[in-house]
């Protein structure tokens, strides 16, 4: 942004951000698969099974952004990291 210029127009987010769980896995997996298909998202090429993904992520901090129609737009989850 140039000094003195107005910020770009932004639309308000009309959906919600809320925790997600097992029942949402198909939508989470589909979004993950899209990212993995780029070849730059991770060191794997296909999404894991739910049990493997679940075991590798903390129970807290699993959040999904949903449109007002309930469609999942994106998600975030926390993974444990060793304290070394």
The pTM of this model reads 0.79
| Helix, coil or strand: residue 81 | coil
**Tens-digit pLDDT profile for residues 53-71:** 999 999 999 999 999 999 9
The H or E element spanning position 36 is: helix 25-37
Residues 6+ apart with CB under 8 A from 47: 29, 32, 33, 36, 53
Residues 6+ apart with CB under 8 A from 39: 45
Average pLDDT over residues 14-28: 95
Average pLDDT over residues 38-67: 93
User: Would you place residue 7 in the very low, low, confident or very high pLDDT band (cuts 50, 70, 90)?
Assistant: low
Look at residue 1 in the predicted model and tell me its pLDDT: 45
């Amino acid at each position: 942004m140039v000094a003195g210029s107005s910020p770009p127009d932004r639309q308000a987010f009309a959906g919600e951000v809320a925790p997600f769980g097992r029942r949402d896995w198909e939508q989470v997996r589909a979004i993950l698969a899209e990212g993995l298909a780029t070849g730059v998202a991770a060191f794997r090429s296909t999404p894991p099974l739910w049990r493997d993904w679940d075991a590798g992520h903390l129970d807290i901090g699993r959040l999904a952004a949903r449109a007002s129609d309930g469609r999942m737009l994106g998600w975030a989850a926390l993974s444990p990291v060793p304290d070394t």
